[in-house]
Amino acid sequence: MKNKKTKTPYKKDLSYNPDKLAKSKISRINIQYEAIKFLKAGIKITIIASSLDISLTHLRDFFRGIFSESPKGGQMPTIESLLSTQSRQIEAAIFLEIYIKFAQSDYKSIDLNNLIKSYNCYEEIRTVLNLDKTPKWKKFDINEAWVIAKGLISRRIIFRRCSSGCAYIEASEQSTKLECPHCKLTNTTKKKLTK
């Protein structure tokens, strides 16, 4: 019987550096910690995988370990479907205004920590405005919020301010220019009250 060589976690050469190996292990632990935090926040595993450069297999295992079930699949919604009504456009503008403040002009990629902070703040504002109690106002989930933030980064969404100072957004593919949804809603409400 031949002696098998045992594999070592590192090459035995002059480039071996125990400090570098320890930092690598710490880095992997930090990535796993971040992944678990993002999973608990409800972010889809495909988003986490692309953000943290971690395999979908590992993320599925983490998900099963945390929630005792498999993650739900499905495609992400389109920007157009998310902005289909005035109330959804206003909701998106509320979220984006918060996200822009947390992102601090870093529009090259989406920092998932900023996404979570922005989303939590968005939920608090909705509660203060009593939007949960009105059926026409449907809250975005965190993955839909990611799609909106991604739309801003990819310039598929344009963030604007109207002459009244209201923030609103437009999808760049829209063929017609939209009126500010805040002002349009306010004007419609005023007309109904005066009748």
Distance (Å, rounded) from C-alpha 12 to C-alpha 152?
A: 48
- CA 115-71-76 angle, to 5 degrees, is 55
Q: Are residues 31 and 112 in the same domain?
A: no
Burial level of 125, CB count in 10 A (0-12/13-18/19+)? middle
| Structural domain range at position 123 | 79-194
User: Looking at per-residue confidence, does 46 or 188 come out higher?
Assistant: 46
The residue-averaged pLDDT of 92-98 equals 92
The residue-averaged pLDDT of 28-32 equals 85
Q: Are residues 31 and 126 in the same domain?
A: no
Q: Are residues 102 and 175 in the same domain?
A: yes
Tens-digit pLDDT profile for residues 115-155: 999 999 999 999 998 888 887 788 999 999 999 999 988 88
Residues 6+ apart with CB under 8 A from 142: 41, 42, 43, 115, 116, 119
Q: Are residues 52 and 111 in the same domain?
A: no
Q: Which amino acid is at 155?
A: R
Residue 5 in any domain: the answer is no
Residue 50 in any domain: the answer is yes
Q: How many domains does the chain have?
A: 2
Residue 73 in any domain: the answer is no
Question: Does the pTM exceed 0.85?
Answer: no
Distance (Å, rounded) from C-alpha 143 to C-alpha 7?
A: 42
Q: Are residues 36 and 97 in the same domain?
A: no
